[in-house]
């Protein structure tokens, strides 16, 4: 009998509970062992839960799981990052296998937790931390480890992709689309992590660390999110046949990792534009295989829970690979990857400065911009330029215009 301690019974936790119970027979046939969820840690025992579970399984005390000698595997699907890290560390030290969906913990503590798992001869697995139901971590660790990966690009956050899809296709405002994504269980407890691009940055750091065999710290990844995109922008994007996507990219060259998260505008017939709602895509480029694309549901109850259960089955079957314990983060993510190309730029001032004033400043830097709308905000397409130059222009404008609002995005084509 394999006993599991499940920490968390929210969106993902309830999915894990249901998959393990509903597919119990199949798993037992497959692995020749019985699997049982022995205890479930929650914050509020009296919460109304849309799940058929015996109340006696629920506990408020983490020690009921972490100190129970009969618990073999601890699954972390808690929403609180700090306590999750303490529990996972404790679990490994207490010789329990660990499975987690927590990208915040994995991206910041991967070396330490992998080291502990090796020391204690236990698994530390985190398939669900990137790409929801897409088995990307295992693919990187096993399926394509013969290749030498030099580039990763992807739509790695379901919430923001859902919001952008609803804004673009249905004209729904940002706030309502976010609320909808929260109701569907895609968003983080604090959705700032999603909309500011930090969640994508963490996932990119995890993928880059494994793919490039060098520890990449998400703290060094420049993240711009989608929260400044307005309905006015969306209307212009539609006219231009461009679709906004939040894209994480990293590249390995000359012993450096270049990485960034930013909104980019892609052509409406491109493959990125066809990744809609909470779906994710991860494109890897390697010297041997060329491009490989992984596509699937990037967030939500069942896809994410499926990845958690996959890790559990690997542990029970003894087929798991912990992966390398990465050394100190010396040369990790030390360079920002900046997009060079055409840019969309919207500027608007609320303190009486008119669009001509803004145009004059743009002229000082770039006389070839094309004005595509100046009825309310000033919206221009800048020819081939860099993010650095755009930031210089905006800083110059900020010196003179206090209440400047702006959004810019590279046109990826």
Ligand X SMILES: N[C@@H](CC=O)C(=O)O
Ligand Y SMILES: NC(=O)C1=CN([C@@H]2O[C@H](COP(=O)(O)OP(=O)(O)OC[C@H]3O[C@@H](n4cnc5c(N)ncnc54)[C@H](OP(=O)(O)O)[C@@H]3O)[C@@H](O)[C@H]2O)C=CC1
Give the footprint of ligand Y on this chain (CB under 6 A).
Answer: 8-13, 41-44, 47, 77-80, 83, 101-103, 128, 132, 185-186, 188-189, 299-300, 304
Residue nearer to ligand Y on the CB measure, 96 or 369: 96
Q: Are strands 73-76 and 256-267 parallel, antiparallel or unpaired?
A: unpaired
Encoded tokens for 340: 């060079």
Q: Which residues bind ligand X (CB under 6 A)?
A: 132, 157-159, 186-188, 194, 199, 298-299
Q: How far out from the chain centre does Cα 321 lie?
A: 22
Q: How far is the CB of 99 from ligand Y (least distance, A)?
A: 11
277, interface contact from ligand X, ligand Y, none, CB < 5-8 Å by kind: none
Q: Which is nearer to ligand X, 12 or 35 (CB)?
A: 12
Is 8 a known ligand-binding residue?
A: yes
User: Which of 145, 141, 90 is closest to 112 using CA atoms?
Assistant: 90
Residues 6+ away with beta carbon under 8 Å from 320: 123, 125, 311, 314
Dist. CA 127–CA 308, nearest whole Å: 7
Instruction: Tell the smallest beta-carbon distance from residue 192 to ligand X (Å).
Output: 11
Picked from ligand X, ligand Y, none, the partner binding residue 77 (CB below 5 to 8 A depending on kind) is ligand Y
**Looking at residue 220, what DSSP letter applies?**
G
Alpha helices in 139-262 (DSSP H): 158-170, 174-183, 192-195, 198-212, 231-239
Q: Is 10 marked as a binding-site residue?
A: yes
Contacts for 276 with CB less than 8 Å, ≥ 6 apart: 161, 165, 169
Q: Which is nearer to ligand X, 200 or 273 (CB)?
A: 200
What b-and-e string marks burial along 373-412, b requiring 16 or more CB atoms within 10 Å of the CB?
eeeebbbbbbeebebeebeebbeebeeebeebebbbbbbb
Secondary structure (3-state) at 111: helix
Q: Is 300 annotated as a binding residue?
A: no
103 in a labelled binding site: yes
Which among ligand Y, ligand X, none contacts residue 102 (Cβ within 5 to 8 A by kind)? ligand Y
Q: Which residue, 129 or 377, has its beta carbon nearer to ligand X?
A: 129
Assigned token pair, 291:
């491009």
* Active-site position among 96, 203, 245, 353: 203
157 binds, options ligand Y, ligand X, none, Cβ within 5 to 8 A by partner type? ligand X
179 annotated active-site: no
CA–chain centroid gap for 216, Å, is 15
Closest distance between ligand X and the C-beta of residue 315, in Å?
Answer: 21
Which of ligand X, ligand Y, none sits in contact with 194, Cβ below 5 to 8 A by type? ligand X
Is 7 annotated to bind ligand? Answer: yes
Q: Smallest gap, in angstroms, from Cβ of residue 361 to ligand X?
A: 37
Q: How far is the CB of 186 from ligand X (least distance, A)?
A: 4
Q: Cβ-closest residue to ligand X?
A: 159
Contacts of 26 (CB under 8 A, 6+ apart): none
Residue 293 interacts, among ligand X, ligand Y, none and using kind-specific CB cut-offs from 5 to 8 Å, with none
Which residue, judged by CB position, is nearest to ligand Y in the bound state?
10
Question: Does 14 count as an annotated binding residue?
Answer: yes
Cα distances (Å, whole numbers) of residue 187 to 25, 28, 61, 155, 308: 32, 33, 26, 15, 18
Least spacing, CB of residue 22 vs ligand Y, in Å: 18
Cβ distance to ligand X smaller for residue 192 or 230: 192
- HSE of 247, CA atoms in CB hemisphere, 13 A: 26
Considering the complex, state which of residue 299 and residue 310 has its C-beta at the smaller distance from ligand X: 299
Active-site positions read 203
User: Which residues sit in the known binding site for NADPH?
Assistant: 103
Annotated binding-site residue numbers for L-homoserine: 188
Which residues line the annotated binding site?
7-14, 103, 188
């Amino acid at each position: 009998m394999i006993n599991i301690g499940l920490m968390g019974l929210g969106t993902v936790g309830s999915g894990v509970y249901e998959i393990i119970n509903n597919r119990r027979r199949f798993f037992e046939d497959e692995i020749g062992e019985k699997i049982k969820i022995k205890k479930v840690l929650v914050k509020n025992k009296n919460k109304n839960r849309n799940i058929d579970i015996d109340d006696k399984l629920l506990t408020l005390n983490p020690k009921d799981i972490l100190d129970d000698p009969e618990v073999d595997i601890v699954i972390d699907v808690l929403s609180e990052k700090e306590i999750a890290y303490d529990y996972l560390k404790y679990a490994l030290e207490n010789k329990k296998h660990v499975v987690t969906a927590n990208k915040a913990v994995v991206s910041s503590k991967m070396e330490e937790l992998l080291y502990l798992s090796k020391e204690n001869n236990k698994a530390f697995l985190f398939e669900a931390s990137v790409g929801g139901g897409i088995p990307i971590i295992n693919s990187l660790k096993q399926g394509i480890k013969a290749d030498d990966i030099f580039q990763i690009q992807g739509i790695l956050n379901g919430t923001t992709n859902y919001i952008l899809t609803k804004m673009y296709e249905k004209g729904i405002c940002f706030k309502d689309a976010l609320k909808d994504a929260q109701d569907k269980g895609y968003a983080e407890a604090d959705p700032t992590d999603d909309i500011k691009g930090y969640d994508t940055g963490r996932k990119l750091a995890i993928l880059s660390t494994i793919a490039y065999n060098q520890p990449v710290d998400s703290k060094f990844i420049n993240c711009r999110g989608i929260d400044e995109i307005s309905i006015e922008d969306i209307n212009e994007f539609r006219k231009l046949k461009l679709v906004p996507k939040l894209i994480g990219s990293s590249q390995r060259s000359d012993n450096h990792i270049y990485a960034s998260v930013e909104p980019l505008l892609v052509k409406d017939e491109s493959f990125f534009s066809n990744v809609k709602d909470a779906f994710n895509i991860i494109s890897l480029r390697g010297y041997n295989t060329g491009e490989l694309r992984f596509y699937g549901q990037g967030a939500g109850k069942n896809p994410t829970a499926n990845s958690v259960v996959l890790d559990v089955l690997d542990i029970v079957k003894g087929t798991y690979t912990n992966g390398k314990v990465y050394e100190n983060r010396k040369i990790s993510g030390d360079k920002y990857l900046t997009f060079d190309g055409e840019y969309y730029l919207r500027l608007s001032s609320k303190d009486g400065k008119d669009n001509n004033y803004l145009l004059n400043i743009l002229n000082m830097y770039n006389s070839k911009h094309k004005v595509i709308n100046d009825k309310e905000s000033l919206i221009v397409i800048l020819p081939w330029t860099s993010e650095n130059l755009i930031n210089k222009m905006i800083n110059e404008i900020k010196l003179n215009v206090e209440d400047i609002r702006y959004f810019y995005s590279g046109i990826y084509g």
